Structure 1
Amino acid sequence: MSDFLHHPLPGISDAVTLIARQDQPVILMGVGKSGHVAAKLAATFSSLGTAALHVNAAEAAHGDLGAIVSHSVVILLSNSGATEEIVRIMPLLKARGCSLIGILGRADSPLGRAVDHVIPAEVEREADHIGMAPTSSTTLHLAVGDALAVAVSRMRGFTREDFLRHHPAGLLGRQMIPVASLMRQGEDLPKVSRTTSLVDLLTVMSSKRLGAACVVDREDRLLGLIVDGDVRRYFQSGNDIHTACAEAIMQAPPQTVASDATVGDVLLLRSATSAAWQVAPVVDAAGKLVGVLRTNELTQG
């Protein structure tokens, strides 16, 4: 994105700075297919921390201009640069002191000459078989608009946590849930000591219904983790099961989750590790076991 901010095309850096400094909603406007792109870009800007509204250019002259307050930043999308419905309201936008940014297929056009900042977005031809349907042009304008939204978001210091707060529903919203509210804890924790026998270990794993057991010391500091697969592998290796203890079977050190983590933190951690771990011990800053997560439950509503 830094390449985008320093792109040699005129208007881009100034447009990013102008939008980033805006306190009121940014207005996106287009007609036809460009209008659909404008609506999508308004949603993208808003989700990335920049309040934005889509105003239909064709309806603007029939009352929708009321949504555009004085000194708004207005982003205009047009492949021809001569869209009649937009050209018609340009004097009204200027009269309101609006700052105008054009994402235009033709910089040398009526709109190109009228806006304050031009971002050229010209394509050689449309992608359809007759070269007339808005395809390549709308794809490029969408990409340029998305890049603008991301660049502005970065300039404003918008964070992953901010993004998740803007998406309270579904999996995105669930990522803000603290693991402390989902983990098994207290009497539900499957805990054993280093010297716990294999028979007692299996009893704990079965009774707690997690298919796992956490090995801890006397201060509850986590030493290792045992899951069903570890026990099977121990059997298959020909070890003496009569003398087996938890320390001989456990994974050490196991993958853990911090007690102040969120669901999103755990999902990121899981995607970054090569192992497909299904159970994760939760530990505090001192390394003490405080809970256990079944990671496949994290994405369930």
Structure 2
Amino acid sequence: MTRAASLALADPGPMPELPAGALAGWFREVLESERAAIGRFLAGEVSGIDSLVAEIAGQDRPLVCLGIGKSGLVAAKVAATFSSLGTPAFFLNAAEAAHGDLGAVQTGNLVIIFSNSGTTEEIVRILPVLKSRQCRLIGIVGRPDSPIAAAVDHLVPSEIEREADHIGMAPTASTILQMAIGDGLAVAASRARGFAREDFLRQHPAGLLGRQMIRIRHLMRKGDDLPTVLPHASVADVTGVISARRVGAACVIDWEGKLLGLIVDGDIRRLAQRKGDFYATTAGEIMQANPRVVGPDLTVADTLLLLKEADRRFDVLPVVDGNGILLGLLSSWDVVQ
């Protein structure tokens, strides 16, 4: 058969006529079936979860998440979740394990085995080696009467009635349930370890999550870039300072550098609408007294969370020390940048 002929045979041709909403219905059927699989698991009795989570949380060496095929993909994802939530873990491919990768497994490691059938040959083959190294074995296994289920020290049965696809064969409901169980163990162990939001952000130094850990002192405008005026300065002078610093605001301070108030573009526009005198009106007369401020050691994430809880947006935030002395000015534009 020529390559062209084989490609022609692979062409599914035009889609047949379908009732209205059939595709969306099939889509929903899959999600409903997967949700039902998790619901049935939660409705059953799973013993020993407390002790299992405590054992995971108490580990002083990385967990091993073992699997192959689709269950292996789940194991890799769960290992990543454990690690990002403060419980070091790594994925071990069962096939590669038998060809040298078992060298990564230390005596006494805790090994979480993912297998739907419970008969996966590549896993069964290395069970004796894991046991000889006094590894504690946890099985997230779909068949409680299988060889792998019988070999583990702690079984979490992940039985399903059927897969969620239309022919009941593709790993769908089974892998969703495996992943949900793995996520549950990872999150519960993380909470037991006292893992906090700040710890999570420190685990993600790259990208947006990592940048949220930058402290305000490293982003704020200071020195010559800091727009400041004294309270007796005219609004005309204030306008000049704001224009020169290009941040849309000026901080009003006293002679000791203590923050007295904040003036933003809107304050000046409101004075103009009242036809006020830009030369006779002083900064102290139009400033916003006691503006919202932040400390220099807050992170960007902390600052944004505080503002969210207060239901406030911000364009600029003065940065002060414990005595109210102005240290800098944080611009929302700088945060975005």
Answer yes or no: same fold by TM over 0.5: yes
Q: Aligned runs of 1:200-279 on 2, under 5 Å?
A: 200-236=237-273, 238=274, 240-242=276-278, 243-279=280-316
Does 1:157 find its partner at 2:199?
no
3-state SS of the aligned residue for 1:54? strand
Change (3 A) 1:247 1:141: farther
- The CA deviation string for residues 107-163 of structure 1, in whole angstroms up to 9 with x for no partner, is 343222221112233333322222221112212211221221122122222233332
Aligned match of 1:179: 216
> How many pairs were matched up?
293
Change (3 A) 1:78 1:11: farther
Output the CA distance in 1 between the equivalents of 2:262 and 2:275. Answer: 19
Output the CA distance in 1 between the equivalents of 2:335 and 2:124. Answer: 51
Asked if the contact 1:74–1:101 (Cα under 8 Å) also holds between the matched residues in 2, the reply is yes
Change (3 A) 1:79 1:241: farther
Output the CA distance in 2 between the equivalents of 1:13 and 1:181. Answer: 43
Output the CA distance in 2 between the equivalents of 1:273 and 1:123. Answer: 45
Normalized against structure 2, the TM-score is what? 0.80
Match of 2:55 among 10, 14, 18: 18
Let me know the Cα RMSD of the aligned residues.
2.1
Change (3 A) 1:79 1:183: same
Q: Which amino acid aligns with 2:276?
A: D
- The CA deviation string for residues 219-260 of structure 1, in whole angstroms up to 9 with x for no partner, is 322222222123224434x36345533234333332211022
- The CA deviation string for residues 168-217 of structure 1, in whole angstroms up to 9 with x for no partner, is 22222223322212211122211123333221111111111111011223
Q: 5+ unaligned residues in a row in structure 2: which ranges? A: 1-43
Does 1:28 find its partner at 2:99?
no
Output the CA distance in 1 between the equivalents of 2:287 and 2:166. Answer: 63
Normalized against structure 1, the TM-score is what? 0.89
Task: Quote the offset at 1:299 in angstroms.
Answer: 4.3
Aligned match of 1:92: 129
Task: Quote the offset at 1:8 in angstroms.
Answer: 5.4
Output the CA distance in 2 between the equivalents of 1:27 and 1:171. Answer: 29
Output the CA distance in 2 between the equivalents of 1:275 and 1:216. Answer: 24
3-state SS of the aligned residue for 1:207? helix
Q: Which amino acid aligns with 2:52?
A: A
Q: 5+ unaligned residues in a row in structure 1: which ranges? A: 1-6
Match of 1:134 among 156, 171, 174: 171
Change (3 A) 1:105 1:223: farther
Output the CA distance in 2 between the equivalents of 1:123 and 1:289. Answer: 62
3-state SS of the aligned residue for 1:257? coil
Change (3 A) 1:176 1:44: same
Output the CA distance in 2 between the equivalents of 1:241 and 1:274. Answer: 34
Change (3 A) 1:248 1:81: farther
Name whichever structure is richer in helix by fraction. Answer: 2
Change (3 A) 1:193 1:122: farther
Asked if the contact 1:26–1:74 (Cα under 8 Å) also holds between the matched residues in 2, the reply is yes
Q: Aligned runs of 1:58-77 on 2, under 5 Å?
A: 58-77=95-114
Output the CA distance in 1 between the equivalents of 2:145 and 2:282. Answer: 79
Asked if the contact 1:11–1:119 (Cα under 8 Å) also holds between the matched residues in 2, the reply is no
3-state SS of the aligned residue for 2:138? strand
Aligned match of 1:101: 138
Q: Which amino acid aligns with 1:28?
A: C
- The CA deviation string for residues 29-67 of structure 1, in whole angstroms up to 9 with x for no partner, is 112111011111111212222221111012222222111
Asked if the contact 1:11–1:118 (Cα under 8 Å) also holds between the matched residues in 2, the reply is no
Asked if the contact 1:164–1:176 (Cα under 8 Å) also holds between the matched residues in 2, the reply is yes
3-state SS of the aligned residue for 2:73? helix
3-state SS of the aligned residue for 2:288? coil
Change (3 A) 1:111 1:213: same
Output the CA distance in 2 between the equivalents of 1:187 and 1:257. Answer: 20
Output the CA distance in 2 between the equivalents of 1:142 and 1:100. Answer: 18
Output the CA distance in 1 between the equivalents of 2:269 and 2:233. Answer: 17
Output the CA distance in 2 between the equivalents of 1:252 and 1:125. Answer: 66
Structure of greater Rg = 2
Output the CA distance in 1 between the equivalents of 2:220 and 2:95. Answer: 53
Output the CA distance in 2 between the equivalents of 1:108 and 1:17. Answer: 26
